[in-house]
């Protein structure tokens, strides 16, 4: 019986971290990732999940109540969409009409100096404000919250919120 030659090799620490961040940013298949880094598909999988577990332990986010105890002056909240492969089941829930592809939405709450305070992930077919309502994020009343126009109505939940006001075009006759 002939042994299959695998492309397993030792990667430097920089390449291992690059592989992980490349996967998180572009979401390729592990087969494509293995071709890029010239290693086996299973080895890519092992590296990725090992590094993600380490990053999850090191990069802990503050708990919900810490925002009330030590409030930053200004908070920024926004949602981004990350494309994913088409799921086998429940495709409709992940389909984003705006991006014309299947996505997951990630809501990030950060301080004005760039420190990430909260991260929420949901399926792609959800409105930004509904993600905020389901997240149950506790925000100090004195903190100023900056949000985009996808968060219309956030003033009912947090009085010190700022949302941009769009000017309406008026035509002159």
pLDDT tens track for 66-115: 666 666 688 888 888 888 887 788 788 887 777 788 888 888 888 887 77
Q: How far apart are the first and last CA of the chain?
A: 85
Residue 33 is classified by DSSP as H
> Domain ranges in the chain?
13-58, 66-162
What tokens does 123 get?
């399926």
Q: What is the DSSP string of 98-114?
A: TTTEEEEEEEEEEETTS
Model confidence pLDDT, tens digit, residues 134-172: 887 778 888 888 888 888 888 888 888 888 877 666 555
Question: By C-alpha distance, which of 170, 146, 162, 171 is closest to 75?
Answer: 146
What tokens does 41 get?
């598909």
Q: What is the SS3 assignment for 78?
A: strand
Rounded to two decimals, the pTM is: 0.57
The CA distance from 122 to 120, in Å, is 7
């Amino acid at each position: 019986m002939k042994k299959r030659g695998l492309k397993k090799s030792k990667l430097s620490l920089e390449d291992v971290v690059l592989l992980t961040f490349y996967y998180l940013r572009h979401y390729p298949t592990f087969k494509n990732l293995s071709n890029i880094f010239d290693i086996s598909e299973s080895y890519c999988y092992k590296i990725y999940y090992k590094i993600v577990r380490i990053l999850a332990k090191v990069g802990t986010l503050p708990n919900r109540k810490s925002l009330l105890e030590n409030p930053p002056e200004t908070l920024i909240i926004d949602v981004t969409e990350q494309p994913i492969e088409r799921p086998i089941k429940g495709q409709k829930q992940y389909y984003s009409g705006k991006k014309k592809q299947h996505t997951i939405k990630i809501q990030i709450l950060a301080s004005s100096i760039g420190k990430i305070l909260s991260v929420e992930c949901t399926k792609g077919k959800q409105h930004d404000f509904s993600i905020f309502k389901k997240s149950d994020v506790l925000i100090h009343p004195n903190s100023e919250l900056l949000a985009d126009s996808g968060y219309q109505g956030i003033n009912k939940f947090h009085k010190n919120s700022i949302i941009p006001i769009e000017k309406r075009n008026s035509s002159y006759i």
